[in-house]
Amino acid sequence: MKAIVYQEYGSPDVVRHADVDRPAPAAGEVLVRVRAAALNHADLLTLRGTPLLLRLAFGLRRPKATVLGRAVAGTVAEIGPDVKDLQAGDEVFGEAAQRGFAEYVAIPAKRLARKPEQVTFEQAATLPVAGITALQALRLGAARPGTTVLVNGASGGVGTFTVQLAKALGAEVTGVCSTRNAELVRSLGADHVIDYTREDFTRDKRRFDVLIDMVGNHPISALRRLLAPGGIYIASNSAGGPVLGPIPRLLATVAQTPFVRQRLRVLTSRSTTEDLRTLAGFVADGTVTPVIERTYPLSETADALRLLEREHARGKIVLLA
């Protein structure tokens, strides 16, 4: 079978579209014939082996898992022992532990959900990482009817889901993005849009019940000033340094919590079948529409990674296997 492989850490130039052995499903796993796979920022980090701290898990000198990719959708080709809820031919989507950018991938059945007929494979592939992160961020922030939510990074893969889901929950939503993406964010339902290229959103006079930070490009103290008394700050991402990455900022977020009125939270998202079903239901009934900027054939994954790295894509980039 064909897969996207890399033998060393580096830029998208190091990935190859190559032949590899087709995996066999172990106990509790199913073999999925991949139809679509979504790129995520984590794929770039894994490819480059940054921050260096990640290499403790993924391989110090070279990657242990040589096939990229996590978020996939496809058809069950084969079931392993002890799998009872799925069968060959079922259309599914979920999160793989790497190895998703391939024609076939073996995934634990408990990490998959059935794809509704109304949801395309491309749409379903966007849900396991980005959609899950958005849903769980809003849950952690206790977003509900009447709350005011600010989304920093509203036009990205996670942000476009966050804006739509927050509106579905009845919140008043403000999205922060660039001029290029302002109309997109408005079209997703944002009540207010702040163009960060024209104004510093941390100086806004409004106060928010929930601030979901997908970017991590402002001091926590500046972001806290945007919160209402008792408001909740959700840290989901931060570029950080080359060695520790976002860890120092995330630790600082946690360390400040006992000493401030607002609640500061670090999001650690985890894909569950129940949440996958919830997201798929929102897409099936039209409540949420995944934003897909562009699709590429699997063979052009290097170009897709370059686009993601260069332009910080609007919504998601999806590979078709």
The answer on 121 and 13 residing in a single domain is yes
* Residue 281 covered by a domain: no
- Quick one: pLDDT band at residue 252, thresholds 50, 70, 90? confident
Strand segments (E) across 124-261: 148-152, 172-177, 192-195, 208-213, 227-235
Element (H, E) at 55: helix 55-58
* Amino acid 240: pLDDT: 67
The answer on 140 and 59 residing in a single domain is no
The answer on 164 and 121 residing in a single domain is no
* Residue 249 covered by a domain: yes
Structural domain boundaries, residue 219? 130-266
The answer on 211 and 134 residing in a single domain is yes
In contact, 5 and 18? CB cutoff 8 Å: yes
Percent above pLDDT 90 for the chain: 81
CA-CA distance, 181 to 179, in Å (whole number)?
Answer: 5
The answer on 149 and 112 residing in a single domain is no
* Residue 277 covered by a domain: no
* Amino acid 36: pLDDT: 98
Chain segment 142-163, per-residue pLDDT in tens: 999 999 999 999 999 999 999 9
* Residue 24 covered by a domain: yes
CATH of the domain at 206: 3.40.50.720
The answer on 228 and 181 residing in a single domain is yes
CA-CA distance, 192 to 182, in Å (whole number)?
Answer: 10
CA-CA distance, 175 to 192, in Å (whole number)?
Answer: 6
Tokens of 157: 């893969």
In contact, 133 and 319? CB cutoff 8 Å: no
Looking at per-residue pLDDT, the higher value among 253 and 220 belongs to 220
Torsion angle in degrees (nearest 10) through CA of 99, 272, 252, 158: 70
Q: Given 251, 266, 281, which residue is the final one in a domain? A: 266
The answer on 186 and 104 residing in a single domain is no
* Residue 219 covered by a domain: yes
The answer on 121 and 160 residing in a single domain is no
The answer on 157 and 82 residing in a single domain is no
Rounded mean pLDDT of the chain? Answer: 93
CATH of the domain at 122: 3.90.180.10
* Residue 310 covered by a domain: yes
- Residue 136: what are its φ and ψ, rounded to 5°? -75, -30
Strand partners, 104: 33
* Residue 151 covered by a domain: yes
The answer on 179 and 110 residing in a single domain is no
Domain count along the chain: 2
- Quick one: pLDDT band at residue 273, thresholds 50, 70, 90? very high
The answer on 178 and 111 residing in a single domain is no
Percent above pLDDT 70 for the chain: 97
The answer on 148 and 88 residing in a single domain is no
* Residue 274 covered by a domain: no
Element (H, E) at 75: strand 71-79
